[in-house]
Every structure is written in structure tokens, then in C-alpha cells.
Structure 1
Amino acid sequence: MSSKSPPPVPPETTDAAQEVAPRRRGRPAKSEQDSLRGELIRKSAHLFRTQGYDNTTVRDIAAAAGIHSGSWFYHFKSKQEILAAVMEHGMNESLARIEEIAPQTLPPRQAFQRLVEVHLHNVLAPNHDFIPVLLYEWRSLDQPSRERIIKLKDRYEAVWDEVIQRLHASGEWSMPTRFDRLLMFGALSWTAQWYKPGRASLEDLAAQAVQFILRTPAKP
């Protein structure tokens, strides 16, 4: 071995050096960022629902997520941007749920009741604040964000329209109009104001809602 060559480092010295190596600074790893971003969306949704969008500050959101206020801006540029993220998250979850039903494979009334059940779950399920925020804070959203969410809303309603057409063809909804659909969504969404867990299960509530909307009992 040359006299100029450095002496070999014992394995235990290398391990110790690795243990005390300083942690690399900068943004967290992508998986950590995604996890924190999701947590910020969930906490924001709850605060926007319980306190209102205007009454919720960036500091409130950071405190609820357990991070420093400055860390918030790694993920969102403004409170307006996170409001849009909350609504988009809610609409994407709702779309995924109703598209899982595959309503075209079910009898029309059964498919309709499943859609009602999913909609009520989106509005009433514990810790599911996204759709109520969309309903109550829509006017707080800027126009570009509204346009993105309207596209998701149109996809959501297209699934309902197909089932309503099948109900009409079967004779179970004799004269559905566009106002009927607006009244239907209004009534279903308003349950957030009065429904209390324990009064009825979401399945029972959905069955009652279907009978109320169609004005006919289910056929035996």
C-alpha cells in the first residue's frame, strides 16, 4: 500500500458517521408532501365548514395541521387556492363513488336509490366536510376555479340524468323536469341542516327520500 493512501475506515466508524450525518434541508420528500397536502385539505375543509371561509385564517389552518405558518405555502399559494382544492377533492371523491355503482347494470329505481345514498353520504358522513363547503362557500370561489369545478359537477349530474331518463322510460318518474332535479338536489343537500345520526340510517333516509321524490312506493 502506498504511504500516500489514506488508512481504511473501520466499518463501525462509517456507521457512526452515517448516524450523525445532518438531515438534508429543503422541501420534504414527495410522499411526505402529498400526505401533508392531503392533511391541509382535510383540516381546511373542517375549518371552512365550522368557522366559515372568511373567518378562517392561514394561521388557523397551519395550527390545525400542526405546521409552521410558512410551511403552508409549499403546498398552496393562497387561501383561495386551498378552498378550490377542498371543493375539487369533494367532487372527485363523489364522482368516484357514483361511477363505482355502474348504475346502468341496476334496475332504474334501485340505481336511483344508490345515487341518493351516495349523495347523502357525501353530505352527512362524519368528518366529510368537502361537499358542505362547496354548497355553503360557492360564492367565495374565484371564477377560474368555479369553471373547473363546474366541469366536475356536470359529470356528476350526467350520471343522474341518465338514471332519471331510465326512470321516466320505466314510468316510475312520469314527468321529470330540470326544476325537479334542482329541487331534488336542494332537498337532499339541505339534510345537512337537520339530520342527526341515530334518527335513521342513511339507507333508510335514502329510501324515504326516493319515495318522496318519485311519489310512489317501491314495487313489491
Structure 2
Amino acid sequence: MQNTLDKTRRDELIDAASHLFRSQGYERTTVRDLAQAVGMQSGSLFYHFKNKAEILEAVMAKGVADITAVAEFALEGVTEPKEKLRRLVTGHLTALLGSSQHALEVLLYEWHSLSTEARDRIVQLRDRYETLWQQVLDEAATAGLVHPDTTFLRKMIFGSLNWTVQWYRPDGSMSIEEMGDRMLNLILRG
């Protein structure tokens, strides 16, 4: 069991790695780069992780865990399907464009760098998040709010939401909430 100081140092490494993997790419980021980013010797990194591949998996796992926690919190106590969907859209955008942005972008763009075993573990975490969405979309379809092909709709929504990292600017013409509401209006039927 890690003590609090170790956990904090590990979290610092994950945060630094998410920034470096996103800005430089996983392959171009060295262990030395990672260690330097948190002010430690390269060898000290291996006290916290076996290798760079394990750090990549930890970054992705953190991104999925963060966005899942946001979704679960957003859905607490909400019963109306339209409001659930609104909260999921806004929550996804808030996590993706906020404090979890780099980890989630690494998840989106460095997927190919995972080993098969690591990919399987991340898929299990991702499935939990997608299940939340699928349940809400199925409820919305039953209520006549969205197209009944909810599996395809979920994939289309994720594609649209995830692409916002390419064009959304916080200093632009709309807030995350306004963008979420506009996107929701396009998702809803009639």
C-alpha cells in the first residue's frame, strides 16, 4: 500500500506524462523527459512504474476514471431522460476540455501505442462509461427523444464530442455549457 506522499508523486507523474504524451507524442517522450518534468532522476521513475508503457496505461486509465466519475456525479438524482442526456453531454465536454483534457486526448490519439493486454484493461474501464451513455440513450429513445438506433447514435455523439478538442477555444464565442446545449438540440428529435 502506497503512502500519501507516494500516491501524490505518482499522480504528478501521470499528470506530467499526460501533458508530454499529448504535446510530444508517446514515442517521442523519453523517460528522462518524464523525470525532468517532475524534478526527479530518471531511475526514480521506476519506483512508481515498471516502464513507460505502464505510465501510458495509467494516463489513459485516469482519463477514463475521471470522465466516468463526472458522468456518474452528473446523473445522481436525475430521472428525466432529456436532462440526463444534457448532463452527460455537458459533463463529457467539461471533462474533455477541462482538467482531464490531456489524459483524454492521450486516450484518443495514442491508443495504438498500448499493448494488447493494456488495451483490454482500458476497454473494460471505457465500457463502464459507455454503458452509462447507452442506458441514458435507450431511455431517451423509449421516450421518443432520440433516434432508436442508440448504439450508432452513441458512437456518432462520441465522435462529435471528442472532435471538439480540435476546434473549441475557451475564449471563443460560447461556453462549454452553451456548446453542450447546442449539440444536445441537434441530437434530439423534433
Q: CA deviation at 1:128?
A: 3.2
Alignment of 1:39-188 (within 5 A): 39-102=12-75, 105-126=78-99, 128-188=101-161
Do the aligned residues in 2 keep the contact of 1:80 with 1:141 (CA within 8 Å)? Answer: yes
Q: Name the one with the larger helix percent.
A: 2
The 3 A distance-change label for structure 1 pair 93 and 210 is: same
Indicate the structure (1 or 2) with the bigger Cα radius of gyration. Answer: 1
Q: 1:145-172: CA deviations, max 9, x gaps?
A: 1111111111101111111111111111
Q: 1:60 & 1:215 partners in 2: Cα distance?
A: 49
Q: Note the aligned Cα RMSD (angstroms).
A: 1.5
Question: Alignment identity in percent?
Answer: 43
Q: 1:198 & 1:44 partners in 2: Cα distance?
A: 26
Q: CA deviation at 1:176?
A: 2.6
Structure 1 residues without counterparts, runs of 5 or longer: 1-28
Q: What's the TM-score once normalised by structure 1's chain length?
A: 0.81
Name the aligned partner's letter for residue 153 of structure 1.
Answer: R
The 3 A distance-change label for structure 1 pair 126 and 32 is: closer
Q: 1:126-158: CA deviations, max 9, x gaps?
A: 563111110000010011111111111111011
Name the aligned partner's letter for residue 63 of structure 2.
Answer: G
Name the aligned partner's letter for residue 84 of structure 1.
Answer: E
Q: 2:138 & 2:100 partners in 1: Cα distance?
A: 33
Q: What's the TM-score once normalised by structure 2's chain length?
A: 0.93
* Runs of 4+ deviating beyond 3 Å: none
Q: 1:32 & 1:104 partners in 2: Cα distance?
A: 35
Q: 1:174 & 1:195 partners in 2: Cα distance?
A: 26
Name the aligned partner's letter for residue 124 of structure 1.
Answer: L
Q: 2:110 is paired with a residue of what secondary structure?
A: helix
Do the aligned residues in 1 keep the contact of 2:20 with 2:34 (CA within 8 Å)? Answer: yes
Does the alignment pair 1:31 with 2:18? no
Q: 2:101 is paired with a residue of what secondary structure?
A: coil
Does the alignment pair 1:202 with 2:176? yes
Q: CA deviation at 1:184?
A: 1.1
Q: CA deviation at 1:104?
A: 6.5
Q: 1:64 & 1:72 partners in 2: Cα distance?
A: 11
